[in-house]
Amino acid sequence: MSVPVDATPGHFIVLEGGEGAGKTTQWDRLAAALRGLGHDVVAVREPGGTPIGDALRALLLDPASQLEARTEALLFAASRAQLVHDVIAPARARGALVLVDRFLLSTYAYQGAGRGLPLEGLRAANALATAGQAPDLTLLLTVPEPVAASRLAQRGGADRLERAGADFHARVGAAFHDALDAAWQARHPEVGPVVRIDADADLDVVTARCIAALVARWPQRFADAASAQLPQRHAPHV
């Protein structure tokens, strides 16, 4: 069984990736696997995770929403502020594992590189929103562009950000790639360490890679996860 949650500090783990990387599927599967081992897991998504955040999510992703880039960035920050206050900080304080589907790295990729907003402004807004809460680890899922495009085509129903265009998503992808560089991470401690996960594989294989990254980072806490039987989930890659 896992180490009792009240005996270890809470860990804040983020799953990131471009559209079609399978990030949300792995967020869901990883949470299920860790809960199955007895870990206290709080799994939330961005934007969202609170009533206010869910309302902002609907606005931000609605294809009918006409949002100026700064408005978009500030709405993401507002959702994050509520999520940190209501969910992330209390969960970490009690020793839980917090799994978040997207966080600050997405802001830098989508609103920074994608929309062209200055990172210093985004960093300042995030500092206000998070009150110093930063991820302990980010798992960045990556797949080749044709694989991502195929998954998106199968999924259908693109939201406002997914419809932003090929040039926009190329800039987003380049920003995610840059975040894998150790020097970039050293300059952006508010993002925390970022580890690449090759997500172009069977769902169970990708989940095992995510778990392996946690074991490598925190071997004592996640020793039980190294040989875990993975949940049989068949949700689509998102």
The number of C-alpha atoms within 13 Å of 142 and in the hemisphere containing its C-beta is 17
Asked if residue 213 is part of any domain, the answer here is yes
Task: Read off the pLDDT band of 230 (50, 70, 90).
Answer: low
Q: Residue 190 is part of a domain; what is its CATH number?
A: 3.40.50.300
- Residue 25 domain flag: yes
- Residue 31 resides in a domain: yes
More confident residue, 196 or 7: 196
Number of domains composing the chain: 1
Given a contact cutoff of 8 angstroms between Cβ atoms, the answer to whether 23 and 17 are in contact is yes
Q: Residue 81 domain-assigned?
A: yes
% of the chain at pLDDT higher than 70: 91
Residue 201 counted as domain residue: yes
User: Is residue 76 in some structural domain?
Assistant: yes
pLDDT at 237 over 60: no
Q: Is residue 126 part of a domain?
A: yes
Model confidence pLDDT, tens digit, residues 108-149:
999 999 999 999 999 999 999 999 999 999 999 999 888 877
| Sheet architecture: strand order including 97-101 | 41-45, 97-101, 11-17, 137-142, 194-198
pLDDT over 90 percentage in the chain: 76
Whether the pLDDT of residue 235 is over 50: the answer is no
Range of the domain at 103: 5-226
Question: Which SS3 state, helix, strand or coil, does residue 133 take?
Answer: coil
Write out pLDDT tens, residues 30-52: 999 999 999 999 999 999 999 99
For residue 129, is it within any domain?
A: yes
Does the pLDDT of residue 1 top 60, yes or no?
Answer: no
Roughly how many angstroms between the first and final C-alpha of the chain, as a whole number?
31
| pLDDT at site 102 | 97
